[in-house]
Structure 1
């Protein structure tokens, strides 16, 4: 008479490769969507910050008319904060691009297809 363990082993079946591929594909797609959203947010913040600073530096008279402040030029410390923030955003974007590469590697490991890293 077979033991409980022997019956369990005899009745064991692995999931189908199609089901594994579907699960892997969904997991990788979720990662890709997440990193795409993060990258979009970083790019939007970076673009907006650059646009605001350029507008301030290129059109100080226009901004002065709209502002109650007499001095609309940013201080050196403010410009340094902008510079530091841009550097931080660039580093974050760089790391996210590495993650995109890792996602592409995951697709390759699982036999999945999809867009290449950085595209």
Structure 2
């Protein structure tokens, strides 16, 4: 349960004394922001998106993708729209959590991982 934040969606080559440059869109599927796959241009919203996915991953106990068939973000969003947001919580937690805090983390995860980067919060 010791999450580590890192750069999920970008890979940069850097030689000392030279300008770094982005190579290709790389990263773990499920953490890559949708605009990265379309434009190939990283932004701070790319990291905000990945952070949102990490929050959802911690709450649900599931990986960001299921063998490439579904995306965690879409599943959680669908459950929320059906009024079943708390059904996504990791069953291993039982009822050992504060409901309001869990709702807050789910909401923050969904806001950060919004498909439109202009709708997500800033990194700050």
> Could you say which TM-score interval applies, normalised by the shorter chain?
0.3 to 0.5
TM-score calculated relative to the size of structure 1: 0.33
Which is higher, the Rg of structure 1 or of structure 2? 1
TM-score calculated relative to the size of structure 2: 0.32
Larger fraction in helix: 1
